[in-house]
Amino acid sequence: EAQVTQNPRYLITVTGKKLTVTCSQNMNHEYMSWYRQDPGLGLRQIYYSMNVEVTDKGDVPEGYKVSRKEKRNFPLILESPSPNQTSLYFCASSLSSPQGSRDTQYFGPGTRLTVL
């Protein structure tokens, strides 16, 4: 089954404790991205990756890191989480960049993160 998976689905942590949210897709998609979704602010892109070893900042990259060492995986790293990073996070993938193409984005199930 074609899918995007994320882990963990729910996470409660404390300020400053490094964490990683994993994302994996099995569709051989080149493009992957991370979004956060907050009430009243909608979906905002954090980082995206056009291909292996090619990543770039989205609209709200501060406090986050990513890496793309393999085509299928695109982990999101919070080196020192803060309460303002409490949010619902989605990983998404598409065959190519949705910005310049008509490719559908497929979203993972989401990770609800709470930083105390």
Q: Name the residues that contact other proteins, by CB under 8 A.
A: 40-45, 90, 98-102, 104-105, 107-110
Least distance to other proteins, CB of residue 106, Å = 8
Output 39 or 62, the one with its CB closest to other proteins. Answer: 39
CB of 101 to other proteins, least distance (A): 8
* Range 19-23 contact pairs with CB under 8 angstroms and sequence separation of 24 or more: 19/77, 19/78, 19/81, 19/113, 20/75, 20/76, 20/77, 20/78, 21/75, 21/76, 21/78, 21/89, 21/91, 21/111, 21/113, 22/73, 22/75, 23/73, 23/74, 23/75, 23/76, 23/91, 23/108
In whole angstroms, the minimum distance from the beta carbon of 11 to other proteins comes to 15
